[in-house]
Structure 1
Amino acid sequence: MIDHDDPATTDVAALLGTDGPFAREVPSFAPREAQQRMAQAVAQAIAGRETLIAEAGTGTGKTFAYLVPALLSGERVIISTGTKTLQDQLYFRDLPRVRSVLGVRLKTALLKGRANYLCLYRLDQTVREGATFERTQAAQLATIRAWSARTRRGDRMELAEVPEESPLWPRVTSTPENCLGVECPFFDDCHVVKARREAMEADVVVVNHHLLFADLALKQEGFGEILPGAAAFILDEAHQVPELAGQFFSQSLSARQLTDLAHDALAECTGVTGAIGLLLEPVEALQESLRQLRLAMAPLPQRGAFQELEDRAGVRDALHGLRELLATLTELLVSQAERSRGFSNLSERATVLSERLDRIVEDRSDRDVRWYESWTRGFALHATPLDLAAPMRALRERTQAAWIHTSATLSVAGNFDHFARQLGLDEPQTLSLESPFDYARQGLCYLPSGLPDPNARDYTEQVIEAALPVLQASNGRAFLLFTSHRALRRAAELLQDRVPWPLFVQGTAPRPRLLEDFRASGHGVLLGAASFWEGVDVVGEALSVVVIDKLPFAAPDDPVLVARLAALEASGINPFMGWQVPSAVIALKQGAGRLIRDIHDRGVLMLCDPRLTGKGYGKLFLASVPPMPRTRELADVQAFFDVAPAPP
């Protein structure tokens, strides 16, 4: 429990209190007891190197609640966020503000994965190839060149003029595989090296979960650590961690990695006598083999257990052919390794990829789930640990640090067991902080009656019929969140000619632009799936309704999930109540959390799934969403919007 007599923990609470410097110096800062309690818990966890799970409802002010004790701890702290956007917000806005109010002199650093930094060597190579670009890409390349001369960080987020999805970015950034390291002619000016050096020397480093786990997983394999050893790791948006950790403890190989290897091998032949004669044929054979394997996989589902590949003779033979051709190319690249820096790098890459392919194909252990996924032009093969608890526990023990996990959505009806079990958190300190928002006054939860079973063929049509009068009452200003892209597309078709408000549909424009246009429209209706369920912050009247079509149970075609559920059942745990329901509750909480973002917000949360009231487990979902008054009557929704908001 929190020791309120410990001066280290009581000081942080006072700093965030009514008479503290934040109340004096930060405009619109409102002291909150929940924020102070969280700051105390974080201070104690850092001091005692403890593991803490802190669920902080929307509006608690959790960022200040962990930054204040982190900056005052005198320890090296690594803060990890869910996305690069949040990372930038934390580093450029929140961290300087807290540091200024506290008056502490600390070195801070921002560190991202290498794909976010301009690679001067690859830019130079791309400029030399420049004659082949069409007009748009040639203009973008000129923009990147001009920016490269003036940027200090080389962080591509600085350059909004070149869209994030531009095919030029992968050509002018590097990957761990194609980086030349100390042998690079541009090494002294390398943006990645500079960013890492700053991180090694900093007291507080801001990273994102992708980078954190990439580094910690690499360290396991004996590579040099990127991140400095720290006394505390603070994971914000920690509900994302179980899935991300699974990715980084996996062995994976993609067609893209092998295609890049082939492309880079041919590019390196320029200027090395005789190399093209030696490599052209095996490179083209490898590329053809990748095409053949993808073709052989075409009749299979988009993702499935590895066994499905082995059960089809055509796929099995194509996979065997790919392994043999990759082994041949690897031998040839190793034979050229001493002829250039590039060939030395390529031989190492090919060796790693060849070994990884062999390991995935031959892995027969019970510890891993082997599976594949495919898309129009490519595929990936994976071996993912069945249980993340063991590698996560080993990772934390190795760091000997405090581990603080915080998010608005970590518990199921107040219970943290599911999250703790996924990450192997044994007897962690836990803290549950209610949102300071007055949900009884600010919100209404509408559970429409008469909707069919969610598996019904016309379910999406019925949801839209039920939602239309709600949209009429709110005059648009709504998010409609769907559990599948198919339902999203169908809903967009149904609404197209039936509503007078502008429609914003996920997939028609980049996410930041859709949100910006939605906010600006004032009365828009935004339709989104997976990525819009979280991390979206629309404050004010532009968003007054959130409609959720179904309970967000994970897709039953996920081979890792299927294997995990079978393992739980074998160990005597009910997989539905022990895994599927808790995971769906946490996802629903994320979606519901889009509605009320501020003390002045008002809105209606419309939960369409009839299982909420028709199934016993529905109570767990309802006990986990914000405590709003509930109704099954449309008239109550209309009355809610007829009433002018009470003055704050």
Structure 2
Amino acid sequence: MDAYEEVAGLLGADGPFAREVPNFAPREAQQAMARVVAEAIDQGEMLVAEAGTGTGKTFAYLVPALTSGKRVIVSTGTKALQDQLFFRDLPRVRSVLDARVKASLLKGRANYLCLYRLDQAVREGSFASRTETQQLATIRAWSARTRRGDRMELAEVPEESPLWPRVTSTTENCLGSECPFFDDCHVFKARREAADADVVVVNHHLLLADLALKQEGFGEILPGAHAFILDEAHQLPELAGQFFSHSVSARQLTELARDALTEGGGVTGATSVLLEPCEALQEAIRTLRLAVDRLPSRGAMATLLRQDAAVEALQKLQHTLEDLADALASQAERSRGLSNVHERAETLSARLARIDERDSEGEVRWYELSGRGFALHATPLDLATPLKAMREASQAAWIHTSATLSVAGNFSHFSEQLGLVDPVELALDSPFDYARQALCYLPESLPEPREDGYTERVIEAVLPVLEASNGRAFLLFTSHRALQRAADLLADRVPWPLFVQGTAPRHQLLEDFRHSGHGVLLGAASFWEGVDVAGEALSVVVIDKLPFAAPDDPVLQARLEAMQQAGVNPFMGWQVPSAVIALKQGAGRLIRDVHDRGVLVLCDPRLRSKGYGRLFLASLPPMPRTHALEDVQAFFA
């Protein structure tokens, strides 16, 4: 038996997991994945492994990682998954294997309390509301007792509180080793721990931020590893776009002005020099936001530059930012804080100039608007080249895994986006018995999705299914508008409690839905993935339309145009594969364990009427299909 077989055997019927973990069921697919991951780590390979729901992929990569004797970085899609991995899965595997490995958890700096910024916030003392004043008191009390400074520990202050950005640091405003609180800094403590660990658990945001910074010649946060294991890897292409973008936002500029005045307040005479340019910058931010108020919420910079008022406001913003940078230059020597704010002003000014450049090959310039803010971006179209360069520089194994990486068994769409050339590929089907546990219902006689009244017709088709299942359903929509319309239509017509995205935080909605037993949950966008409701509470998943990306996305539009010019059909080459992977994510919410039963309702008639519909159906787990409502009723009867 070779070494890789031995690793797989640890998860077998005679292995320690079968002996020690309650309800552990040995799975061939899990052992097969562990074997291939062990080999990839040992040989420094590029691996793309799709593991269907229920394979147990977390153990399948943790076991080889912990027994490899090598330094491994594990990256997950979200902070919630990161915490689950570090606090639940990793300790369990470590204890079963009795593995003497040091593990550490590392998050992005926005997750850690910054003692310097907390001290500043206390001194400054100007808060928008009594709630914020109380929250600051709560954070101060917690700061005295926390060891890690991870804001996850403090549930009393909600994640969306405007206070958090004021008491956490960013790469731009961190004072580094010259900070008066450096010896107690939570970020540097976490990094020191990570530097000594054998296994470091991070998330994709931090991983990409670090790799993107390394590319620009900064020190490496993530110490050199022998292997990178990327779970939920299907999210990487979109996230990579964010990290290789150059962006300037209203929030960054507002914080710059506020920090300049706070730092100036501690140095005699500095405020009199800085007050006027800071106020001018704040005014310029407001003017630009007003000038673009009538524009669509996101679009190409060209759209913004067609508005004379917006062009004028953008120029004014550039001039006032330069003026503030000049004023800060005259004060920068006087304190470390002022020197840091000066560097930030220079960086933002250069970035803004870059985004405003009219023609640059290979980059898309675009804007997005939020309630009172805006962000301007320059995003590269080619992400494969920088990602490939980073992987080559690391000289490590790179293991990409997720339940959704292939399109009808083909991995090329995923691999090409990340610049993976000829990786080792592994496709493992879910061990669930979909033929017995699930049914796919394709209601007949629905109109084309672009027709008026489509959502009304979807709800008409779904109501008898909900009656058969007695609620217990998850309705997924491709747009927030359709979600709202459906919520209004269902409000008076169903006896079950409705849980609608946007009415409460996501984790709260899911918790309430689980406990209701017969609820109907309506979600869009972020609810298509990462939602895990096993058992009776969820027995129906409805998908209103095929999840093609919104046509108003300027980066997508530019990418499709570039493909067209290169002679590739952008619809079949990009839009369909991306939508297939999104559909697989949504459908994956239905069957979460061996005892689950449920019906997947796919409403979009294009699955039958268009040739590409076959690709979508061929990418789903092998479950029986029906057009007859009676079959659905019989399934639940």
Report the TM range for the smaller structure's normalisation.
Answer: over 0.9
Q: What SS does structure 1 have at the residue aligned with 2:334?
A: coil
Which amino acid counterpart does residue 627 of structure 1 have in structure 2?
P
1:450 Cα deviation after fit: 0.7
For residues 379 and 358 of structure 2, the distance between their equivalents in structure 1, rounded to whole angstroms, comes to 11
Whether 1:444 and 2:451 are equivalent positions in the alignment is no
Q: What SS does structure 2 have at the residue aligned with 1:554?
A: coil
Whether 1:595 and 2:573 are equivalent positions in the alignment is no
Whether 1:559 and 2:554 are equivalent positions in the alignment is yes
The structure 2 residue matched to 1:33, chosen from 15, 28, 32, is: 28
For residues 631 and 443 of structure 1, the distance between their equivalents in structure 2, rounded to whole angstroms, comes to 11
Q: Which runs of 5+ in 2 are unaligned?
A: none
Whether 1:469 and 2:460 are equivalent positions in the alignment is no
Whether 1:400 and 2:395 are equivalent positions in the alignment is yes
Partner of 1:269: 264
Q: TM-score, normalised by structure 2?
A: 0.99
1:270 Cα deviation after fit: 1.5
1:508 Cα deviation after fit: 0.4
For residues 93 and 138 of structure 2, the distance between their equivalents in structure 1, rounded to whole angstroms, comes to 35
1:138 Cα deviation after fit: 2.7
The structure 2 residue matched to 1:224, chosen from 219, 228, 235, is: 219
Q: For each residue in 1:341-382, what CA deviation from the matched residue of structure 2 results, as whole angstroms up to 9, or x when unmatched?
A: 210110011111111111111262211111111122111111
For residues 170 and 388 of structure 2, the distance between their equivalents in structure 1, rounded to whole angstroms, comes to 29
Partner of 2:418: 423
The alpha-carbon distance between structure 1 residues 363 and 176, as it changes in their structure 2 partners (threshold 3 A), is: farther
The structure 1 residue matched to 2:289, chosen from 288, 294, 319, is: 294
1:571 Cα deviation after fit: 1.4
Whether 1:353 and 2:348 are equivalent positions in the alignment is yes
Partner of 2:201: 206
% same residue: 77
Partner of 2:83: 88
For residues 270 and 385 of structure 1, the distance between their equivalents in structure 2, rounded to whole angstroms, comes to 40
Q: What SS does structure 1 have at the residue aligned with 2:332?
A: coil
1:275 Cα deviation after fit: 1.6
1:434 Cα deviation after fit: 0.3
Alignment of 1:67-82 (within 5 A): 67-82=62-77
For residues 580 and 131 of structure 1, the distance between their equivalents in structure 2, rounded to whole angstroms, comes to 48
Whether 1:181 and 2:149 are equivalent positions in the alignment is no
Partner of 1:109: 104
Q: For each residue in 1:32-90, what CA deviation from the matched residue of structure 2 results, as whole angstroms up to 9, or x when unmatched?
A: 00000000110111111110000000000000000011111111110000000000000
Q: TM-score, normalised by structure 1?
A: 0.97
The alpha-carbon distance between structure 1 residues 317 and 608, as it changes in their structure 2 partners (threshold 3 A), is: same
Q: What SS does structure 1 have at the residue aligned with 2:440?
A: strand
For residues 530 and 440 of structure 1, the distance between their equivalents in structure 2, rounded to whole angstroms, comes to 28
Contact 2:261–2:274 under 8 Å retained in 1:
yes
1:321 Cα deviation after fit: 1.4
1:132 Cα deviation after fit: 4.4
Q: What SS does structure 2 have at the residue aligned with 1:269?
A: helix
1:312 Cα deviation after fit: 2.3
Which amino acid counterpart does residue 99 of structure 2 have in structure 1?
V
Partner of 2:148: 153
For residues 374 and 333 of structure 2, the distance between their equivalents in structure 1, rounded to whole angstroms, comes to 32
Over the aligned positions, Cα root-mean-square deviation in angstroms equals: 1.1
Contact 2:449–2:545 under 8 Å retained in 1:
yes
1:130 Cα deviation after fit: 3.9
Which amino acid counterpart does residue 523 of structure 2 have in structure 1?
G
Contact 2:124–2:262 under 8 Å retained in 1:
no
Q: For each residue in 1:1-41, what CA deviation from the matched residue of structure 2 results, as whole angstroms up to 9, or x when unmatched?
A: xxxx6x22111111110000110011111100000000011
For residues 164 and 369 of structure 2, the distance between their equivalents in structure 1, rounded to whole angstroms, comes to 23
Partner of 1:645: none
Partner of 2:191: 196
For residues 451 and 583 of structure 1, the distance between their equivalents in structure 2, rounded to whole angstroms, comes to 24
The structure 2 residue matched to 1:579, chosen from 559, 574, 578, is: 574
Q: Which runs of 5+ in 1 are unaligned?
A: 643-648
Which amino acid counterpart does residue 132 of structure 2 have in structure 1?
Q
For residues 296 and 323 of structure 1, the distance between their equivalents in structure 2, rounded to whole angstroms, comes to 15
The structure 2 residue matched to 1:321, chosen from 316, 324, 338, is: 316
For residues 91 and 400 of structure 1, the distance between their equivalents in structure 2, rounded to whole angstroms, comes to 25
Q: What SS does structure 1 have at the residue aligned with 2:600?
A: strand
The structure 2 residue matched to 1:382, chosen from 377, 380, 400, is: 377
1:485 Cα deviation after fit: 0.3
Contact 2:120–2:262 under 8 Å retained in 1:
no
Partner of 1:550: 545
Q: 381-390 or 165-174, which moves further after superposition?
A: 165-174
Q: For each residue in 1:159-211, what CA deviation from the matched residue of structure 2 results, as whole angstroms up to 9, or x when unmatched?
A: 11221112221221111122111111111001001001111111110000000
For residues 322 and 108 of structure 1, the distance between their equivalents in structure 2, rounded to whole angstroms, comes to 46
1:131 Cα deviation after fit: 6.8
For residues 109 and 128 of structure 2, the distance between their equivalents in structure 1, rounded to whole angstroms, comes to 24
For residues 472 and 345 of structure 1, the distance between their equivalents in structure 2, rounded to whole angstroms, comes to 62
For residues 135 and 313 of structure 1, the distance between their equivalents in structure 2, rounded to whole angstroms, comes to 41
For residues 168 and 523 of structure 1, the distance between their equivalents in structure 2, rounded to whole angstroms, comes to 37
1:253 Cα deviation after fit: 1.0
Whether 1:530 and 2:510 are equivalent positions in the alignment is no
Partner of 1:366: 361
Contact 2:474–2:538 under 8 Å retained in 1:
yes
Contact 2:117–2:167 under 8 Å retained in 1:
yes
The structure 2 residue matched to 1:51, chosen from 46, 52, 70, is: 46
For residues 483 and 134 of structure 1, the distance between their equivalents in structure 2, rounded to whole angstroms, comes to 36
Q: 272-281 or 99-108, which moves further after superposition?
A: 272-281
Which amino acid counterpart does residue 101 of structure 1 have in structure 2?
V
Which amino acid counterpart does residue 282 of structure 2 have in structure 1?
Q
Q: For each residue in 1:422-457, what CA deviation from the matched residue of structure 2 results, as whole angstroms up to 9, or x when unmatched?
A: 111100000000000000110000000011010011
Whether 1:622 and 2:600 are equivalent positions in the alignment is no
Partner of 1:343: 338
Q: 379-388 or 509-518, which moves further after superposition?
A: 379-388
